[in-house]
A and B are shown apart, each in its own frame.
Chain A
Amino acid sequence: MIQTSTSPKQAAFEKSPVIVELRNVTKTFTVAGGSEMKVLDQIDLAVHEGELLALLGQSGSGKSTILRCLTGLATPTSGRVLCYGQPMEGINSHASVVFQTFALYPWLTVEQNVEVGLMAKNLPRAERDAAVEKAIELIGLSNYHAAYPREISGGMRQRVGIARALVSEPAILCLDEAFSALDVLTAENLRHEMITLWHRKDATLKSVFMVTHNIEEAVEMATRICILFPRPGRLGLVLENNLPYPRDSKSPEFQSLVRTIHETITTLTLPDHPPEPTIVSGAPISRARNRMESIPYVPVGQILGLLSILRDTPDLTNIYDISNEIGKEFGETIGIVKAAEILELVDTPKNDVRLTELGQSFLSADRIGRRLIFSDQIHNLRIFHIIIEYLRLQDEVEADQILKDIASALPYDNPEKILQTMVAWGRYAGIMDFNASARTVFVLKDEVEHAPNV
């Protein structure tokens, strides 16, 4: 049932014709300070006829950029985009997009909003009205013609978004996190309708390409799931999903597919390291010390929260269970765990998360003790040395200078966000602060001397 991309079944599937594909696509953006950030790195991805392809990844992994490349909203820095084998130029006329924010024009009625989807086609009025009427009926908006978007609920708004995308009879429908702004029940309902729409054989709609960070959503809807890993975005795993529709999220097959994806993400994001002589030596050996490693954009409060939960519920170890417990998306949870891990406050053997000894003593320390441990751990992270080196020589340093250094050290990261996170961690550790109006990072005057670790 679950095959990786090299399996024979996958090969058979690939015989169905390709509608649109990315070939060796790389995309870089210019970020603050003029340096380049590589968002996508050599992506190959094809959307075949008849499939419902889900691209799964956490926020910032570049999945929306892939969607924008496929639809022609963005042009790759290098590589090619082909539509039915032809190099694509400008907007992809075979694709329509449904947006996360709905992107409805608030000053147009439901009917007029749907009509926007047909504007590019120079249709006579009668034909256009008929097409709009058909789309409105198909998506169940019949009584809402004259309503304005602000007068209807979020679910209804997204229906308008879908009707607008379908009215021009595209071959491929692109959903950009189309259900994530909706409440759980509405989203579930719309997902079912989406599958039904895609199943109808009479329509010109051949395929659906959806971008999501929700693992269950991808498993519930897609025939094929691609997992995108961040910094820079690259495809990590391609799974085929042949479960029959309608899919029961409680069924063991469904659950096992979800678990496979969890495990893949966990092993790739939090790789296991050779066993460390933690117990023997009494103190863990720093792994981060010797290489420049990025830090997840996680506020200190969330790391502390994770540690408290680990202490208070000792049998809670599986990272997926933790994710459910704290009510966060799996991707976000992974980020928090990773942050705690590079600070050596937790360890992550396989899919488990455990407090390290340092983590234990951190939790039992008082405020100053915690600050000292945090400060020591920060000093072990090489990325922090960019700032620490500057602050050793002078009392304050300009943020732009630091941003430039971060950008050259971590070309796949957003330097602004890294700096924000570093300042937040550094504030907690009491070693630095940020002056927003002068845009400088400065040494805290009442800095506590770094006593040797407990």
Chain B
Amino acid sequence: MNPELPQLKASEHRGGFGLMDVFIILGIIGLAWSIIHFASGMLVGFDERAVPTLDESVWSIPYYAGRTLLRMWMAFGCSLLFTFGIGYAAAKSRIARAFILPAIDVLQSVPVLGFLSATVAGFMALFPGSLFGVECASIFAIFTGQVWNMTFGFYHSLVTIPGDLQDAAATFGLTRWQRFRTLEVPASMHSLLWNSMMSFGGGWFFVAQSEAISVMGKNIKLPGIGSYMAAAVERGDNTAAFWAVAAMLVVIVASDQLVWRPLIAWADRFKMELTESTEAPGSWFYDMLRGSVVLEWFSRRVFDPLVEWFAQLSVRRNGPRRVVAKGSAKVQYLFYVCVFSALVLFAAFYAVRGLVDAAKAVHAGVSLEMAGHIAWLGVLTMLRVFTMTLLATLLWTPVGVWIGFHPKAARVAQPLAQIAASFPVNMTFPIVVGLFVAWRIPMNWGSILLIAMGTQWYLLFNVIAGAMAIPNDLKDAARTYGLRGWALWRTLILPAIFPFWVTGACTAAGGAWNASIVAELATWGDTTLKADGLGALIAEVTQRGDTPLILCSIGTMSIFVIVTNQLIWRRLYALAERRFRLD
């Protein structure tokens, strides 16, 4: 438990070339080989009429897991680039901000899965005759599932960088790139990493769903663990399904242990406060890497010179302090404004044209009666989402508080809850549906359980975090006044965890809308169970390829999400911020 210990070990190792370094070299070579191996599989030809079948053997699972993992990382890379570009623009330009923030707000609320059919068609047209089009559609689905909170988090930490740190950067004449590297990225590293981890965890859901797509009446299966699972369920092959679930768990845990935990441990130095933390996050893998001679050589001889070279380049390009005369700076500024407004106009033109087309299609294809029916289904799904949130709250609040009050339990339970939240439960829906069939549980109620399976964990680990964050002196005070039972809950626990509960419940409810698309319509072998709800409708019309209905149902769901966000979650957030802040 001594935080000093791993550091000491690490510096002992640094003496010479050890066994560890052999492993690391092998690991690097292996990583490079796998990336090439898995990526080459993305570029094979693809014929819509002769869809390749998946290998049913259990031994092909590692390959499929690798393909899925690569897809995840490519989507994450895109999200990261988007985050840096768009988040930075929003923070730096008032004009850009006026467009970006509302756009993110809306896009966050749109059920991504509903768009799969449109994006698959679009990307397939972009890469005709190649599997890469379908790959892109899948990557795009994951991307849209994880990018928004990362971008928003980055934007938020950029605008909350303490003023004196910015002033220091300004007085020492740092260029934009230098500022980005020495101030802006480090200052937002913490939020960036946590948001990335959350997004990455959420991404598994989308990858599992987007690998096996049936759109426009076509059944497309990308090689991956999600589609392997789907195929196994179709065949009713329980052994294969079990191994697929196990492999999924291994991949998730490995991503957590080999990538995210080390990154979090490394990023501890980027914390803003100037006091030494009592308990720094640790990671065995990170400690191991730190002892490596190979990595140190690599960082000193390859990475540092590269950074140096790039820094020199950026200074040279920007010139030493303000060589640009005032006149030409104005011209430059005008030029940028022109380019930017041209881009905006261009985008706006297409957006408006798209909206008009969509409105026309909806007007032609959806009767008023149908629209009313869709709204009614929306209400049903909304009730389901709220019931789920309520039940999960009643169940997990006491459990979460108990865990949070027992640090030892929390140390075990919190990562477990995070992994549970990452696991794409939609993979297992067919099995659960099989149980529904056997026990004759109506889907209208059963779907609530399906929705909860994936999203309840957000509530749990936020409540744990909230209970852990209650200051000890408040707890001690409660104890000295003899507060117990309901009095203790009412005066201390509930108010203290409220802000965390709001975060968790909002995330869970947001995820629940997306989950309803896969949870309200599920197939077990030959049996298809369907609940009355907007999610089921979206799933159905997407499979059929009924464009007007797709547009109308997705639009309705987006409106439901936006309205509940505005009417409920925003207010609860504001209330939490105003009344229940712990500082």
Contact = CB atoms under 8 A, between A and B. Distances in A.
Interface in B161-178: 162, 164-165, 167-175, 178
A100 to B, nearest CB: 8
Contacts of A125: 308
Interface stretch (A105-113, A222-230, A237-245): A105-113
Contact of B174 (A72, A107, A120): A120
B157 to A, nearest CB: 13
Interface stretch (B129-137, B264-272, B520-528): B264-272
A186 interface: no
Contacts of A436: 578
Contacts of A60: none
B182 A96 contact: no
Contact of B170 (A73, A105, A122): A73
Nearest to A120: B173
Interface in B308-347: 308, 311-312, 315-316, 320-322, 326
Given A73-B170, A116-B182, A122-B315, A150 B270 contact: no
Contact of A120 (B172, B183, B269, B276): B172
B93 interface: no
A89 B271 contact: no
A89 B273 contact: no
A93 interface: yes
Contacts of B315: 119-120, 122
Interface in A13-31: none
A122 B168 contact: no
Interface in A142-189: 148-151, 157, 164, 168
B29 interface: no
B186 interface: yes
Contacts of B173: 91, 93, 119-120
B184 to A, nearest CB: 11
B182 A150 contact: no
B174 A119 contact: yes
A107 B168 contact: no
Interface in B276-331: 276, 308, 311-312, 315-316, 320-322, 326
Interface in A338-361: none
A104 B315 CA distance: 22
Given A106-B272, A150-B273, A117 B165 contact: no
Interface string A82-100: 0000000111010111011
B269 A106 contact: yes
B412 interface: no
B171 A122 contact: no
B438 interface: no
Contacts of B272: 106
B270 A107 contact: yes
A396 B400 CA distance: 43
Nearest to B272: A106
B274 interface: yes
Nearest to B171: A97
Q: Which of A68, A148, A150, A436 has the most chain B CB atoms closer than 10 A to its own CB?
A: A150
A95 B269 contact: no
A99 B174 CA distance: 17
B275 interface: yes
Nearest to A106: B274
Contacts of B312: 122
A155 B490 CA distance: 45
B168 A99 contact: yes
Given A90-B321, A117-B172, A119-B182, A99 B326 contact: no
Interface residues of B, number: 35
Interface in B182-235: 182-183, 186, 189
A121 interface: yes
Contacts of B308: 125
A106 B173 CA distance: 19
A116 B274 contact: no
Contacts of B189: 107
A107 B167 CA distance: 17
Contact of A91 (B171, B270, B274, B311): B171
A106 B271 contact: yes
Contact of A122 (B164, B165, B183, B316): B316
A105 B172 contact: no
A120 B321 contact: yes
A234 to B, nearest CB: 24
Contacts of B170: 72-73, 91
Contacts of A99: 164, 167-168
Given A122-B312, A149-B274, A73 B164 contact: no
A437 interface: yes
Among A97, A100, A149, chain B packs the most CB atoms within 10 A around the CB of: A97
Contacts of A91: 170-171, 173, 321
A101 interface: yes
A116 B269 contact: no
A124 B315 CA distance: 12
Residue among B172, B178, B270 with most chain A CB within 10 A = B172
A367 to B, nearest CB: 28
A160 to B, nearest CB: 11
Given A97-B167, A103-B164, A122-B320, A150 B172 contact: no
A437 B578 contact: yes
A212 interface: no
Nearest to B183: A105
A375 to B, nearest CB: 30
A97 B270 CA distance: 23
A119 B316 CA distance: 12
Nearest to B181: A119
A95 B171 contact: yes
B407 to A, nearest CB: 24
B171 A96 contact: yes
B186 A105 contact: yes
A173 to B, nearest CB: 11
A207 interface: no
A97 B578 CA distance: 37
Contact of B182 (A71, A93, A97, A108): A108
Interface string B59-74: 0000000000000000
A88 to B, nearest CB: 11
Contacts of A150: 273-276
A248 to B, nearest CB: 34
A437 B173 CA distance: 42
A437 to B, nearest CB: 6
A89 B182 contact: no
Nearest to B312: A122
Contact of B172 (A107, A108, A149, A168): A168
B172 A119 contact: yes
B178 A119 contact: yes
Given A106-B273, A106-B274, A116 B164 contact: no
Contacts of A71: 171
B164 A89 contact: no
Interface string B153-165: 0000000001011
Interface in A367-426: none
A-B CB proximity, top 5 nearest: A120-B173, A103-B164, A103-B168, A107-B186, A122-B315
Interface of A: 68, 71-73, 89-91, 93, 95-97, 99-101, 103-108, 116-117, 119-122, 125, 148-151, 157, 164, 168, 436-437
16 contacts: A91-B173, A95-B171, A101-B162, A103-B164, A106-B272, A107-B270, A108-B182, A116-B169, A116-B182, A119-B172, A120-B173, A120-B321, A125-B308, A150-B274, A151-B276, A436-B578
Given A106-B269, A106-B270, A107-B270, 9 more contacts: A72-B171, A91-B170, A105-B168, A105-B183, A107-B189, A120-B320, A150-B273, A157-B274, A164-B168
